[in-house]
A and B are shown apart, each in its own frame.
Chain A
Amino acid sequence: MDILIQQFVNALSLGGTYALLALGLAMVFSVLGLINFAHGDLMTLTGYTMFFAIGAGLGLPLAVVLGIACATLAAVAMERVAFRPVRDANTATMLLTSLAVSTILHMLFQNLISARPRAIPVPSWMIGAVDVGGLAIGVIQLMSITATALLLIALSIFLRRSILGIAMRAAALDFPVTRLMGINANAVVATAFGLSGLLAGVAGVLWLAQRGSVDPLMGFLPVLKAFIAVVLGGLGSLAGAVVGGFALAFIEVFLRAFLPDGWLPFRESITLTLVIVLLLVRPEGLIGRRENVR
Chain B
Amino acid sequence: MLHASTTRIAAVAAGLVVAGGVAQGDSHGITIGYAGGFTGYLAPYDQPSLNGVQLALDQINEAGGIMGMPVELVVKDTRSDTAQAAVVAQELIEEGVVAMIVSCDVDPAVASGVMAQAAEIPSASSCASTPSLPAAVGPYMFSNYTADNLQGAVLAEYARGQGYENAYILLSRDTPYTEKLPEYFGEAFEAMGGTVVAVGEYTMGQQDFSAEVTNIGGLDPSPDVIQTSAYEPDFPAFIKQLRAAGIDTPVLGSDGIDSPTTFALGDVAEGVVFSNAGFASPGSALEAFEMAYEAKYGTPNDTVFTATGYDLMMVIAAAIEAAGSTDGPAIRDAWDNLENVQVATGSITYKDQNRVPVRVVALNQVSGGERVHVGDFSPDPSMIPAP
Contact = CB atoms under 8 A, between A and B. Distances in A.
Interface of A: 3, 6-7, 9-10, 13-14, 17, 106-107, 110-112, 114-124, 127-129, 136, 138-141, 207, 210-213, 215-218, 221, 249, 252-254, 256-257, 261, 264-265, 267-268
A212 B237 CA distance: 7
Interface size bucket, B side?
Answer: 35 or more
Contact of B199 (A207, A257, A261): A261
Contacts of B44: 115-117, 215
B264 A119 contact: yes
Given A10-B214, A211-B233, 6 more contacts: A3-B218, A110-B39, A110-B47, A118-B261, A252-B208, A267-B203
A253 B213 CA distance: 11
Given A111-B5, A129-B244, A217-B41, A210 B47 contact: no
Interface string B18-61: 00000000000000000000010101100110000000000000
B248 interface: no
Nearest to B268: A127
Interface in B193-209: 198-203, 205-208
11 contacts: A7-B211, A9-B210, A10-B208, A112-B5, A116-B48, A129-B245, A136-B244, A138-B244, A141-B244, A253-B208, A257-B215
A217 B202 CA distance: 19
B65 interface: no
Contact of A7 (B39, B210, B243): B210
**A-B complex: 9 closest residue pairs judged by Cβ atoms:** A10-B210, A212-B236, A211-B233, A115-B43, A119-B264, A256-B211, A257-B211, A213-B261, A119-B261
B384 to A, nearest CB: 26
B12 interface: yes
Contacts of B240: 122, 127, 138, 140, 210, 212
Nearest to A258: B211
Interface string B212-227: 1011001000000000
A256 B218 CA distance: 14
Contact of A138 (B212, B245, B261, B264): B245
A112 B241 CA distance: 32
Contact of B201 (A6, A218, A264): A264
Contacts of A210: 207-208, 233, 236-237, 240-241
A263 to B, nearest CB: 10
Interface in B176-206: 198-203, 205-206
B266 A121 contact: yes
B294 interface: no
Contacts of A249: 208
A89 to B, nearest CB: 27
Central interface residue in B41, B198, B207, B267, by most chain A CB within 10 Å? B207
Contacts of A265: 173, 201
B259 A211 contact: no
A127 B201 CA distance: 23
Given A110-B39, A111-B8, A253-B211, A215 B1 contact: no
Contact of B214 (A3, A106, A215): A3
Nearest to B269: A212
B232 interface: yes
Contact of B267 (A124, A129, A215): A124
Contacts of B1: 114
Interface string B264-277: 11111000000000
Contacts of B201: 264-265, 267
A138 B303 CA distance: 31
Interface in B253-290: 259-261, 263-268
B246 interface: yes
Central interface residue in A10, A116, A123, A138, by most chain B CB within 10 Å? A116
B236 A213 contact: yes
A218 B199 CA distance: 26
Nearest to B207: A210
B352 interface: no
A252 B259 CA distance: 29
A120 B173 CA distance: 27
B9 interface: yes
A172 B242 CA distance: 42
A165 to B, nearest CB: 31
B244 A127 contact: yes
